[in-house]
Amino acid sequence: MRAVFTLPLSLILWTACKEKPKPDVAPPPPTSSHVATVDSMETPESVKWDSAQDVYFVANINGSPLAKDNNGFISRVRPDGSIESLRFIEGGKPGVTLNAPKGMAISGDTLWVTDIDAVRAFNANTGVPVVSVDLRGQGAVFLNDVALGPDGALYVTDTAIGFDDQGNATRAGMYRIFRIGERRKVSVAAEGDPLQEPNGIIWDEAGKRFIVVPLGGPSLFAWKPGNVAPTVIARGPGGYDGVEMVRGQLLVSSWTDSTVSAYESGNQVRVISGVAGPADFGYDAKRHRILIPVLTANRMEIWQLP
């Protein structure tokens, strides 16, 4: 008689699994992670990383964005999130005028700051005032962001908004991009409705163009000095504020959907979500981190990019 052997069920299952391996499952894509929160800010609107000093400057409006109350201030924050000097530059101190500081740019050891209808410069190391450029004569209303151009000039957006008695935003002037050139000469580089309340601005070295992001429309723009109107390069949720070029990638913050997003081939890819009121964020290239001023919550958040 031939013997009949029965394999254990566990061995049968093990053999079946071995013979028919499961297909590989791709790991989930890396995500951004929250690193630190910096409290004690007062209506923070903009953050700029100073690579020379390895410090973050935070512009605090401290009240209404249009009030000439001389109580705005700029903080110095260390990369670990600790505050080095809460009021490093403070409006109201001897020789200092600073009402509602917003966008910032760094050129050498000079920190440039927009302030309603003026652009002010301070020594980035000491905080001592250097110069103020008054743009009232050119009709400036709501100077918002500032970027250094390849020609050494400063390019400044004017969102041209005001507020009615109920606090609602209203149009208060012409949408413009100003140029501040040699000897602080001010000129209008671009103007008109196609700018759609221009807010953030950054020079894109790879593309040899400025990127301009508007508060009042869904389009993202490319613009070159000399061009009458900007060119649409992408569309998204609108309500844009900050803009940075990060390792060749365009990142933009939006109040509309509470995100910082990348725009790859014109399509929105959310990088950071769930941050309500993300204003003019900065980028720490040394640590590959995004620095978000949360204007309505009086704090600044540090996020690690993947």
Which residue segments constitute the domains of the chain, with CATH numbers given?
A: 41-237 (2.120.10.30)
CA distance 196 to 84: 37
- Whether pLDDT at 7 is above 80: no
pLDDT category at 166 given cuts 50, 70, 90 is: confident
- Whether pLDDT at 11 is above 50: no
Q: What is the pLDDT of residue 23?
A: 55
Whether the CB-CB separation of 291 and 56 falls below 8 Å is answered with yes
CA angle at 251 for the pair 249 and 255, rounded to the nearest 5°: 165
pLDDT tens digits, one per residue of 239-292: 999 999 999 999 999 999 999 999 998 999 999 999 999 999 999 999 999 999
Mean pLDDT in residue range 229-246: 97
What average pLDDT does the structure give for the chain?
A: 92
Whether the CB-CB separation of 194 and 230 falls below 8 Å is answered with yes
Helix, strand, coil tally for the chain in percent (to 5): 10, 50, 45
Dihedral sign from CA coordinates of 119, 203, 48, 197: positive
- Whether pLDDT at 26 is above 90: no
Q: How many CB atoms lie within 10 A of CB 104?
A: 25
Provide the b/e sequence for 239-263 (b: ≥16 CB within 10 Å).
Answer: bbbbbbbbeeebbbbbbebbbbbbb
- Whether pLDDT at 106 is above 90: yes
- 3-class secondary-structure state, position 17: helix
User: Shortest CA distance to 281 belongs to which of 245, 249, 306?
Assistant: 245
Percent of the chain with pLDDT over 90: 86
Q: What is the pLDDT of residue 29?
A: 61
